[in-house]
Amino acid sequence: MQGGVGLRLRVFDRIMCFVNCHFAAHLEAVNRRNADFDHIYRTMAFTRSSNLLDNVAAGVSSAAQMLRGTDAAAISPGKGKPDLAEADMVIFCGDLNYRLFGISYDEARDFVSQRCFDWLREKDQLRAQMKAGKVFQGMREAIIKFPPTYKFDKGKPGLGGYDSGEKKRIPAWCDRVLYRDSRAAPSMPCSLGSPVAASILQYDACMEVTDSDHKPVRCKFSVEVSSVDRSVRRQEFGKIFQYNDKIRSILEELYYIPEVAVSTSQIFLQNQETFSLIITNRSTRQDNVFFQITCQYQSTVDKNKQTSGYRPRDSFCFPRWLKVTPAAGMIKSGEDEEILVHQEEFRNSEDISDVISPRKWSEETREEKVILMINVKSSCSTKVRTHHVHLSCRFSTDAVCMLSRNSSTRNEGSSHHRSNSSRRNEGNTYQRSNSSIRNEGSSHHRSSLQQESVSNGSRRNEGSSHPRSSLQQESTSDMNKYK
């Protein structure tokens, strides 16, 4: 299986990427190997993850995928420059599988035994492809001064261990290390323009390893990294801002906020009152002011003056009981804007429960406190100034309870029947179920109904007929007379 896995490090704010890969095998598969490199270089993407089991280092590539299996556009849709191209230094290593061409097995063995590596390098596929600009564009490799690292019989030490099987594969430098730093040419010094400069101190093979058909390759780098002293940079920026009039004027324009006056910082509402809040643009530069009013916090205060604490609310929504119009707009220089702050009337039980819990309706009053945030800025400013207006709103629980009762009963002159009781208006006789009740003035209460409708009878007020029990007694006595 061919593919690649990468690791990204940040060193002094410079990005270094290490890519270990395995390209296509066999002598004739040069184009496939070139395509493998191109695919990995273009599609390798690095991410940061909170899952330490997934990404242990600063960044682990998500392109550890099978080559030619996924289209690059599907991996990073809409993405421009590849992550590897953005890095200050990139190192490719692994089994690149490039072979020696135009030479036989015996000829290669002879040149290796004579250590004629200069002549063998001319037969190296990777070297030829890099010269033609077909692979590893812009990357470099140290001069190879070690024997080909492939293919060996396992367990055999020294140069006599090259493939002695039936296939007798031609020795080759399959295992390589290539790199790119931030310099356009190796002779350029390390600087802020070329912040990473790498040089190779050691490049050789571990010929003593015998437990693989490859010999590992090691490469030792010396890397210079140009970093910025942030304190010095701040000082230099300060000098630029201080002495450059054009930059200073631009910054002043971005930070400028017109002077705005708010008529009050305290508002108290009760009994569906409306308060007129005035915002005045006092700018001396003829700048328009843009404002937006939000409700940031809300708290509840009970009859014992205990505050439940500020609870965050949706920064773009007001409570159901509060209406602010307009909540946003523009004020021209020297002009005022009137903001109407109105305590809304309760319309349903949902509005009631938003302010007062049914368990606390026994309390005489309930108070809500809100902080209105008036955010103002100019048309060009990146800064916002906030004015705070503290609003207190008092609700009477009598009105709340009346609204609650009215929502479950009907007005005078009408009847509403529930459970097993009935109600009668003045001048009407209406019986249902086990009892009928009539009070003077057609004023009925469910609690009295429940008390009066005991046993199997009912009681009536003056001017009404006798209970059924007395009727039964009279009829019994009359029958006794006739006996």
pLDDT score at 465: 41
User: What's the pLDDT at 368?
Assistant: 81
**Average pLDDT along the chain, 483 residues, taken 10 residues at a time:** 90 95 96 97 80 42 40 43 93 98 96 94 97 97 97 90 92 98 94 95 95 96 92 86 82 85 93 92 88 78 57 62 90 93 69 49 66 89 90 70 47 43 41 40 40 40 41 42 41
Bond from prior residue into 326 cis (ω within 30 degrees of 0): yes
* pLDDT for the residue 305: 61
Residue given tokens 């802020």 in the structure block: 192
Predicted confidence at residue 224, as pLDDT, reads 96
pLDDT at residue 242 in the model: 79
State the CATH architecture for 260-404: Sandwich (2.60)
CATH 3.40.50.1820 fits 3-225, yes or no: no
pLDDT of residue 72: 39
Taking the C-alpha atoms of residue 474 and residue 359, their distance in angstroms, rounded to an integer, is 52
Q: Tell me what pLDDT residue 415 has.
A: 42
Residue 213: per-residue pLDDT: 95
d(CA 240, CA 116): 60
What's the pLDDT score for residue 348? Answer: 52
List where CATH 2.60.40.10 sits in the chain: 260-404
- In this prediction the pTM is 0.50
What is the number of residues in the chain? 483
Question: Boundaries of CATH 3.60.10.10 in the chain?
Answer: 3-225
